[in-house]
A and B are shown apart, each in its own frame.
Chain A
């Protein structure tokens, strides 16, 4: 057995993209330099292979010889071999001072047990080609010159290797074997708890990472005392997973005492309640399955789910976002009998990318690295799955420094009649897709606890690495098996792994699992690890015994691993066996209903209302430019273009729109059914800045924003379905929970007010970071996502101005609602009221807007949100490459409100700016009769288009060239 290293680098004259990027990032960390980085990629191949064979493989398979060179070495490598004698000398990029500096070679490989998809692919290809290889790992190598060794070490730790999943090796590779698991020897382990006191129970919960509170531990203790035996480790872990905040949502479904009132199940009384009251006939399945389902047309339904993956993304942004998206894609796939994913969404909340490195608390990654990592993670999963990522948002606030948020969503389409599933006793439990390894052990309980400075090292097991291609072939198999009727129920392995998936599927029946039948990535996993592992890309199917052979054959034909690991059985129990030994035997009733109800206290003291002290003088043009250049408003093109937003050929309104394909569309529209012209608009609303002032108002405004984005492109306001995602801090703090109660009530009222039902949702609590006894919580953050049916996509409207000489109207009232506005952000001025929604007017306004659009009266339409009217008109001009002459005099507003500043930048909801051809003016106004509307002005096109806005008193308030605005708007994320 020999370990070979094939080291591959760009040929002379070919760019070293990775090396250049790393050198730039190194200079960001330590600007003194010098910095020179040469990168190479490589493979460590262990097997009975001769040097000649390795050379042939390198030439034929591993190296692209048009642009790359390579060399082969046998491990352990000699010191001289690795540190000197570069394969060729070439001019390299050099940044910083001219002094010589020090040099080092660094290799980065994944930790043993961490998935290495490319190594796996290479291994299976070599086996197919009949080479005798035992294991292959990929390696990245860097030849670095830096100012001193300390700076190089810092570069390695901060940029090159993530210690949660990777290992950096300085100098030559000195080992001669790739690590692999060692065989597992079965020992049935018990966790004696019957004799423990309160302190010891608490200690057990902590040391095992169970995240269970004392009441819950006592309930478990009582249960086993009654049974007359101790629990096994596996039973305790299973209960902890099932009862975790992440899986059971015990806060939102528990009891809350709020302002003298006891709410039994907050979700039921707010979000669910609204849907039950509305009960539209087009809702198919809500809050019951992995995604909410609504009717789309006579033949198909659509479903939608949005999830968060915050804590994993804080530790490993790439892997966290990657598996966050991979996980949510499995939700529609595991909904009903399996929906086909047709588009994705992504929303990120991070600290400002320009945060100084010194400001970072221990264990916290730089926000720039987080943003780059999460974008790359979503990109690589979504693009590889072949699912277009079509909608998203970016929220930037210093409070997300230690706890960034990552939301990923997926819409699926499913043939009618496949929305429901039912497990029957006797069905086989079949797990398909990825093999089970140690990845993500304790993900469910980890995400239900706060992050600390030690999270990075303590929770490395909670980070998973995705392999999108495995999920893609699983998707291919599931849809084929569904259409052949090969299974009766399906769900995904998410948080809690097999434990949750099988536990939930078998809840009303009973299940018996043989854990040793699960396909493993490597040896050495204990039965408990197999059961709770969160290895990615796995689905669990309930397959009638008579269909198992056919399913197995189908999986084999598509290259998908499938295993029969047990059966559903009418025992009412969850029974786990390993090599014939019973390692867990739990009553389903106790598992799912035995958790003591959580009672939490909530209170809310609204911050004192403070009117904004408006400055006597302000330069509105400069303010507009600053808002355009803020992270919340600026162009997200850098993100969007890295996502394939058109694969599947369904995307008929793209996220970027306009004459140069670079304006900010309000919502994307996809065609769920190819060949039909019925569309689906996908949009979102999020604004935590309002929540800091008024969580109820934030919820209403976010719902309004999500709906108006859909309506702006042509969706029918009577066919909009909503999703909620609550990301809050520690709910055991009454103030934190109080703001959540108010936000949930806002969701309820907005859903009723707009007759837009919530169909699914998710909460993520404990978004806090603790260090030195200080806790930093995120701002209460509510994401509202929406899908809206578009009757005929031929009528869709985009936000870019279309032609000069058209009329510009504003519909909806502008009020003095500057609290939490982007104007107050860029001016650093606090106070003011958060925007409030008038649902009665809003409903009529949405209906009128829709009528105007389907009547063909609207050439472009855009909703004012962050930055208000001024930003909306500016964006329309930017996208259209045009100008506009606008006056604020006719802006509908309450009597007495004549301040230009407020009319320009207030963020009052339920407004649209609309471009209408002069010949349609009367017809348009007729539709908006009895609703607030006003004529703003005209579109223009000069050689150098400008946006001119006159104030109420006719003075010039803004006069800017469109190209200057565009430059400022594009600058922040022009990475």
Chain B
């Protein structure tokens, strides 16, 4: 049985189509739904095993990135999202989706709900560039190996900030920091441009204490083909390689089987 993934649409969400395609390539059955349809029918989510919040500018990022969508989820969908998570379902937030999950308190979740945010890049501008990521925790079901990944980022507000450094330590101790920006030697870094936004200790992705709610600033759905990679014309053509982004979707599907 293919797991069923729901890709959440909302005004200004703009990565829904390629995210749906990534789920399909990974072997899931996908439906895209507008958030208002879920508000109309609050049991609708119960038919799915995966909820995905794709990238974009939900509601124009007015009031802050992901803020309005987070407010809507909090008011109308908090129960069905909690049900999904607690019955073993998966929640993935990419870029704006990650921002939304953080602002809704679903990430980092646990005792750290609403103690974290994603704020303006240190470079003071939107950045579209490829990043190297190292895996710093295997708690998250979306990661199945320690191999570093290459994925693009495209955001203006991706700097992960927590209320105090002790809280950040706790996230590391709790294995909730999943991916970190790294330099060419695979060392986590705070240095621009390998770290595109200035996140402390290179945090690029976190999961909640269950490991089933996952948010990341980089875009895995933009690396599901060989020629998505920016240097593919320099690389040997391999027939066995799975593009790094697709692996994330495949791991999730495998975890549900």
Chain B positions within 8 Å of A656 at CB level: 230
Closest chain A residue, CB of each to CB of B56? A386
Binds B, one of A310-318, A794-802, A941-949: A794-802
| B82: interface (CB < 8 Å) | no
Q: Can you report 22 residue pairs joining A to B where beta carbons are below 8 Å apart?
A: A17-B124, A21-B124, A61-B63, A64-B67, A66-B119, A66-B161, A384-B12, A386-B15, A467-B60, A472-B12, A646-B152, A646-B222, A647-B15, A647-B154, A649-B21, A649-B22, A653-B233, A654-B230, A661-B231, A793-B227, A796-B227, A800-B233
| A645: interface (CB < 8 Å) | yes
B11 to A559, Cβ gap below 8 A?
Answer: yes
Closest chain A residue, CB of each to CB of B11? A473
User: CB < 8 Å: which of A61, A640, A797 contacts B233?
Assistant: A797
B231 to A384, Cβ gap below 8 A?
Answer: no
| A644: interface (CB < 8 Å) | yes
Closest chain B residue, CB of each to CB of A642? B126
A-B contact count (CB 8 A): 150
Closest chain A residue, CB of each to CB of B24? A675
A383 to B11, Cβ gap below 8 A?
Answer: no
Given contacts A469-B60, A644-B128, contact A557 B34 (CB under 8 A): yes
- Given A64-B117, A66-B114, A118-B62, list of 20 further CB < 8 A pairs? A17-B120, A61-B63, A66-B115, A122-B63, A125-B63, A385-B14, A468-B12, A473-B11, A557-B34, A558-B11, A640-B128, A646-B228, A647-B14, A647-B154, A652-B225, A652-B227, A653-B233, A657-B230, A657-B233, A661-B230
Interface residue ranges of A1-60 to B (CB < 8 Å): 14-15, 17, 20-21, 60
| B125: interface (CB < 8 Å) | yes
Given contacts A67-B119, A472-B12, A661-B130, contact A117 B231 (CB under 8 A): no
Chain B positions within 8 Å of A654 at CB level: 230
1/0 per residue, CB under 8 A from A, across B208-237: the answer is 000000000001011011011011111000
Instruction: Name A residues whose Cβ lies closer than 8 Å to a Cβ of B.
Output: 14-15, 17, 20-21, 60-62, 64, 66-67, 117-118, 121-122, 125, 128-129, 379, 383-386, 467-469, 472-473, 476, 557-559, 640-649, 652-654, 656-659, 661, 674-675, 793-794, 796-798, 800, 802
| B29: interface (CB < 8 Å) | no
Closest chain B residue, CB of each to CB of A793? B227
Chain B positions within 8 Å of A64 at CB level: 64, 67, 103, 117, 119
User: CB < 8 Å: which of B60, B67, B122, B154 contacts A646?
Assistant: B154
Interface residue ranges of B160-185 to A (CB < 8 Å): 161-163
Q: How far is the CA of A66 from the CA of B113 in the complex (A)?
A: 11
**8 cross-chain pairs, A with B, having the tightest CB-CB distances, nearest first:** A386-B14, A121-B62, A649-B18, A66-B117, A469-B60, A118-B62, A652-B227, A644-B154
Q: How far is the CA of A641 from the CA of B123 in the complex (A)?
A: 12
1/0 per residue, CB under 8 A from A, across B1-39: the answer is 000000001011011011001100000000000101100
Q: How far is the CA of A656 from the CA of B127 in the complex (A)?
A: 13
| B142: interface (CB < 8 Å) | no
User: CB < 8 Å: which of A385, A558, A653, A659 contacts B34?
Assistant: A558
Closest chain B residue, CB of each to CB of A473? B11
B67 to A798, Cβ gap below 8 A?
Answer: no
User: CB < 8 Å: which of A17, A125, A469 contacts B12?
Assistant: A469
Report the minimum CB–CB distance from A857 to chain B (whole Å).
Answer: 14
Q: How far is the CA of A333 from the CA of B126 in the complex (A)?
A: 26
Chain B positions within 8 Å of A658 at CB level: 231
Chain B positions within 8 Å of A646 at CB level: 128, 152, 154, 219, 222, 228
Report the minimum CB–CB distance from B219 to chain A (whole Å).
Answer: 7
User: CB < 8 Å: which of A559, A674, A798 contacts B36?
Assistant: A559
User: CB < 8 Å: which of A17, A20, A66, A117 contacts B62?
Assistant: A117
A472 to B119, Cβ gap below 8 A?
Answer: no
| B48: interface (CB < 8 Å) | no
Q: How far is the CA of A159 from the CA of B110 in the complex (A)?
A: 44
Report the minimum CB–CB distance from A202 to chain B (whole Å).
Answer: 45
1/0 per residue, CB under 8 A from A, across B120-144: the answer is 1010111111100000000000000
Report the minimum CB–CB distance from B209 to chain A (whole Å).
Answer: 19
Closest chain B residue, CB of each to CB of A43? B63
A645 to B231, Cβ gap below 8 A?
Answer: no
Q: How far is the CA of A640 from the CA of B221 in the complex (A)?
A: 21
B59 to A469, Cβ gap below 8 A?
Answer: yes
Chain A positions within 8 Å of B114 at CB level: 66
| B116: interface (CB < 8 Å) | yes
Chain B positions within 8 Å of A644 at CB level: 126, 128, 154
| B242: interface (CB < 8 Å) | no
Q: How far is the CA of A14 from the CA of B72 in the complex (A)?
A: 28
A125 to B68, Cβ gap below 8 A?
Answer: yes
Report the minimum CB–CB distance from A774 to chain B (whole Å).
Answer: 38
Chain A positions within 8 Å of B67 at CB level: 61, 64
| B57: interface (CB < 8 Å) | yes
Report the minimum CB–CB distance from A639 to chain B (whole Å).
Answer: 11
Closest chain A residue, CB of each to CB of B234? A802
Chain A positions within 8 Å of B11 at CB level: 469, 472-473, 558-559
Given contacts A64-B119, A558-B34, contact A384 B125 (CB under 8 A): no
Chain A positions within 8 Å of B57 at CB level: 383-384, 468-469
| B44: interface (CB < 8 Å) | no
Chain A positions within 8 Å of B125 at CB level: 642
Closest chain B residue, CB of each to CB of A674? B21
B36 to A557, Cβ gap below 8 A?
Answer: yes
Report the minimum CB–CB distance from A69 to chain B (whole Å).
Answer: 13
Chain A positions within 8 Å of B162 at CB level: 66
B56 to A468, Cβ gap below 8 A?
Answer: no
Q: How far is the CA of A794 from the CA of B224 in the complex (A)?
A: 15
Chain B positions within 8 Å of A793 at CB level: 227
Q: How far is the CA of A383 from the CA of B219 in the complex (A)?
A: 14
Closest chain B residue, CB of each to CB of A652? B227
Chain A positions within 8 Å of B124 at CB level: 17, 20-21
Interface residue ranges of B42-78 to A (CB < 8 Å): 55-57, 59-60, 62-64, 67-68, 71-72, 75
